[in-house]
Structure 1
Amino acid sequence: MITDIIKKYKLFLIAYSGGMDSTVLLYQLLKFKEINTDVNIRAIHINHNLHENSKKWQIHCINTCKKNYIPLIIEEINTKITKNIEEQLRIKRYNLIYKHLLHNEILLTAHHLNDQCETLFLSLKRGSGPTGLSAMSSERTFGKTKIIRPFLTKTKNELKKWAEYNNLIWIEDFTNFNTNYDRNFIRHKIISVLEKKWPFFLKNCFRTTKICNEETKLKNILLKEKIEKFLHFHECLNIKNFKNLTEEVCKGLIRYWILLKNIKSPSYKTIQSIYNEIIHSKKKYNIKIIIKKNEIRCYKESLYFIETKKNIKNMIIFWHNVHYKLTLPNNFGYIVKNKKEGISIPMPGNNELINIRFQYDGKILILGENRQKSIKKIWQEHNIPPWLRHQIPLLFYDNKLISALGVFVVNQKNTENNKHKWKISWIHTTKLKYDYFFV
């Protein structure tokens, strides 16, 4: 497979631990570089600082790369992790690697068939469906570039034979024999036994992951076609007609919709909760389902995928100098005084303090209307979901509400400065998902 990769790509970053697998990958690529001189190779070594020999392994990697004229990047992980160590280290490792990837540079890892089988067992332990049982793919998108695993069809024994034949020197990480780690337990206590009983077991595991991967791709193609009629232009999922669909189709559409947000596939339990508590429930409007740092909410027969924000409804921010922009919390942008553009509102009195709040209770007479309405009614008329109502900056003079920026202006009939106007704008530093609500 490496031959095909080199024909297609020329820039590579190798995840190099110094172990046998990544050492074989490094030297095989070097052999091809002798023939294909336009190939550029870099390596990155992540020191996890989990072993007393971590520094020695790092030095070994430095010396190997120096000997072969390969630029090497060294990164260290010093954070103490107490829960889900393997998964947390994997996330930190890939984040560090991605930080160093160049434009059009392909990340190569030395994952092999044994690793694939271990990943399959880990997915079984978690109760994963076909997507999880697909395990690792030989090639997939990695941010703006790709990660390729050229050894995914090769067994560890095949790589070891190549390493020994070419007299390679590598390091042995003895923590790989610590069966307190899930992956090591599967490797030494399960797969080794099964492989002795059935020598073809690893190959069949790979076949299973391949079948699951193909089934997942086919399912996603069909779901992509079906989901189009349920998606609004603002990416929320219309569930009004979900009652006419089977439970399996509903859950499939919800899962696919969430995957469109580029996050890790949600668990079966999460999808079941969304179906039971929102789709299949009459009281669905105050329900929220948490997915890591995000929430699934329902409003007017539509599901919304929103980022969880810090609660700021009780916050007050004073704007003492209007000649300077006022920065808002939660990355909600800033407010600035304008000369020509922006919302036109009465100027404050000389002694009135301008302040921004995010909560108001009571009735309001909006400019242009002839009767007062509760602010809840106003939010509803503007189709603003409940979770967004405490994120819209409310402009006050002292304790008097003047405007919900971008939504309405309060009628100030008794204000002395009503004839004197000024313009201000709410500028978003990041594009809000709900801009279409503001009319």
Structure 2
Amino acid sequence: MLYHDFSQFMAAHIQSPDTRCVLALSGGVDSRVLLHLLARYVRDNHCDAMAVHVHHGLSASADLWVERCRQWCAEAALPFQVEYIQLDTQGKGLEAAARQARYQALQQYVGEGDLLLTGQHRDDQLETFLLALKRGSGPKGLSGMAASMSFHQGWLIRPLLHRSRAEIEAYAHAHQLSWVDDESNQDTRFDRNFIRHEIMPVLLARWPHFPQAVQRSAELCASQEALLDELLQARYQAALQPDQSLSIRCLLECSDAARAQILRMWFHQFGHQMPSRAQLDNISHQVLQAKADANPRCRIGHAEVRRFGDALHYVPVYVDISDWRCPININHPVELPDGLGTLTLTERVVLTDRSTEKQAVFGLNQCCLSVPLQVIFNPEGLVASPVGRKGHHKLKKLFQEYRIPSWQRRRMPILISGQQVIAVAGLFVDEHFSGSDYELIWGTTI
């Protein structure tokens, strides 16, 4: 019966003969059963499939789990791949960090139209629902996990979502399957494990059908959330700008409730971490309604929502490189910090075709070599005279006039001699140094 339901579920989601099925194989009983089901389905239907195990390095048994998964895949005649990851727990708990890193590692295996299979079941749905309830989530959070959802270029599917843990374990025993047990699943310091071991047994003893009721509630919440999105789609599209920012004017025309939902739609569409209610209130009342010349921001995980001009932008929290500086010489590329590429000062090459290169090029005259040059990123206190402008202007004012967002102003390389600005890469050359003898090439874009 379980294989029959699995086969129907897969047939409903495989849209092309080229669809690849990628199993997230942890080695636990859920994914172990999925491996058994998928291997049989592949034999019956000749579809493309593989399994990927993500090695978190959190358990002393992690290397053993890799070998067990490799052996099971060999027996099932399915390709097997291991992804080794390191967790970044800054700003989040261990469970959340592991989940995020795991899905990031799995993304590279999911091409257009491919399916990522994960082993969550009905008991997991109950745990997720209770965790969302504990956090005070609204309909979106209480929707829990969907049986299928878009993921990277394909889809994430959960074929076992309507099956209980007991049913899955019964299948494993019936087919004499072995699996690994993660000792951390017994640690009730983790909220999910506390619910699983301390709360769920009490609930199920009193109300045996509680998981089915939670599943219905989760589906109703998902339906209500989908309806909200449908009704607000026109307003959302009107607010969404070509650069993926949101129009402040459009947002301010909405009611508080509609504005909050549009913001959630924005976060969801681009895969950003969903804000809490307090963060939504901060965005709505502090960031949106700040003065036009203010620099408000709302931190959400490793990113910020910031205002620039008439729009809200979602930007990473960048490393502060204000104090970074480096000498630069002719034909010696400088490696810029924090992934900003290279900056090169070179003799001009005539008729060079750079149509396919991702770089910004500016011409300089010989005066630029009369003194030692440095590259910096801190514009504070500096002035310049861009070509075509009269007089000296503070870089702060020039950045405003060139409409450079505040978070990018300390990420644009500044070529200086002493306190004299020679050029701001990607933006302008000072009129005293403009020419055609040399080229300043920034091998990236901001």
Contact 1:348 1:397 in 2 (8 A): no
Q: How does 1:13-412 map to 2 (within 5 A)?
A: 13-36=22-45, 38-46=46-54, 58-74=66-82, 84-99=93-108, 105-173=114-182, 175-240=184-249, 242-282=251-291, 285-320=294-329, 322-336=330-344, 337=346, 338-340=348-350, 342-348=361-367, 351-358=370-377, 359-361=379-381, 363-412=383-432
State the partner residue of 1:3. 7
Shift of 1:428: 4.5
Residues 302-349 of structure 1: CA distance to partner in whole angstroms, max 9, x if unpaired? 2222222222233322211x2243332233333343434743333236
Structure 2: how far apart are the matches of 1:50 and 1:39?
34
Q: Which has the higher mean CA deviation after the structures are superposed, 74-83 or 395-404?
A: 74-83
Decide whether aligned partners of structure 1 residues 232 and 56 sit closer, same or farther in structure 2, where only a CA change above 3 A counts: closer
How many residue pairs end up in the alignment?
424
Structure 1: how far apart are the matches of 2:369 and 2:190?
67
Structure with max Cα Rg? 1
Structure 2: how far apart are the matches of 1:44 and 1:349?
55
Q: Which amino acid aligns with 1:309?
A: Y
Contact 1:112 1:154 in 2 (8 A): yes
Structure 1: how far apart are the matches of 2:68 and 2:436?
71
Residues 2-40 of structure 1: CA distance to partner in whole angstroms, max 9, x if unpaired? 22354326633323344332232222233333432x134
Q: Which amino acid aligns with 1:67?
A: E
Residues 45-79 of structure 1: CA distance to partner in whole angstroms, max 9, x if unpaired? 44556556656655544443343333433456686
Structure 2: how far apart are the matches of 1:381 and 1:98?
40
Contact 1:25 1:110 in 2 (8 A): yes
State the partner residue of 1:415. none
Q: Which amino acid aligns with 2:320?
A: N
* Match among 407, 422, 430 for residue 437 of structure 2: 422
Q: Which has the higher mean CA deviation after the structures are superposed, 274-283 or 105-114?
A: 274-283
Identity %: 26
Contact 1:45 1:75 in 2 (8 A): yes
Q: With structure 2 as the length reference, what TM-score do the two structures score?
A: 0.82
Shift of 1:150: 0.4
Structure 2: how far apart are the matches of 1:76 and 1:384?
39
Structure 1: how far apart are the matches of 2:184 and 2:434?
76
Contact 1:348 1:354 in 2 (8 A): no
Residues 136-175 of structure 1: CA distance to partner in whole angstroms, max 9, x if unpaired? 1111233233321101111222223333444444445554
Q: Which has the higher mean CA deviation after the structures are superposed, 389-398 or 168-177?
A: 168-177
Q: Which amino acid aligns with 1:347?
A: Q
Residues 197-224 of structure 1: CA distance to partner in whole angstroms, max 9, x if unpaired? 2222111111111122222222223333
State the partner residue of 2:355. none
Secondary structure of 1:391 counterpart: coil
Decide whether aligned partners of structure 1 residues 276 and 28 sit closer, same or farther in structure 2, where only a CA change above 3 A counts: same
Contact 2:143 2:218 in 1 (8 A): yes
Contact 1:278 1:284 in 2 (8 A): no
Q: Which amino acid aligns with 1:383?
A: R
| Unaligned 5+ runs, structure 1 | 413-417, 433-439
Structure 1: how far apart are the matches of 2:254 and 2:221?
24
Structure 1: how far apart are the matches of 2:390 and 2:62?
74
Secondary structure of 1:146 counterpart: strand
Secondary structure of 1:240 counterpart: helix
Secondary structure of 2:437 counterpart: strand
Secondary structure of 2:283 counterpart: helix
Decide whether aligned partners of structure 1 residues 284 and 193 sit closer, same or farther in structure 2, where only a CA change above 3 A counts: farther
- When the two chains are superposed, the root-mean-square deviation of aligned CA atoms in Å is 3.2
Structure 2: how far apart are the matches of 1:183 and 1:294?
26
